[in-house]
Amino acid sequence: DTEVTQTPKHLVMGMTNKKSLKCEQHMGHRAMYWYKQKAKKPPELMFVYSYEKLSINESVPSRFSPECPNSSLLNLHLHALQPEDSALYLCASSQDGGDEQYFGPGTRLTVT
């Protein structure tokens, strides 16, 4: 299984809502990542988890809260988002952080 899955595929939320994005991989990878991608731009790193511990937070606003419940799962909890947070949110995993990363299909988030 070389797949990273993400749910939901699409999400529309209001600025007062609380929602969560989910990511799962069963490749035995111990590093997992959240990226944000705006239209026609490259992915931008948000968070890195290594062995279920947060190792990198790229100065992401606290309205984004990551969680890694176990080595296969990665969540991104969203609260009080702004319209400018609308983007494609990508999850990725790798065997040893920084080497080949496998990406999921992303969640297309729209904040209204």
Partner 1 sequence: GESVGLHLPTLSVQEGDNSIINCAYSNSASDYFIWYKQESGKGPQFIIDIRSNMDKRQGQRVTVLLNKTVKHLSLQIAATQPGDSAVYFCAESWDTGRRALTFGSGTRLQVQP
Of the candidates 57, 79, 80, 105, which one interacts with partner 1 according to CB under 8 A? Answer: 105
75, 18 in Cβ contact below 8 A? no
User: Which of 4, 104, 6, 25 is CA-nearest to residue 72?
Assistant: 25
Instruction: Establish if 27 lies at the interface with partner 1 (CB under 8 A).
Output: no
> According to the binding rule CB under 8 A, does residue 97 interact with partner 1?
yes
Determine if 109 is a binding residue for partner 1 (CB under 8 A). no
Q: Which is nearer to partner 1, 7 or 100 (CB)?
A: 100
* 48 lines the binding site for partner 1 (CB under 8 A): yes
4 binds partner 1 (CB under 8 A): yes
For partner 1, the closer of residues 6 and 111 by Cβ is 6
- Cβ 20 to partner 1 shortest distance, Å: 19
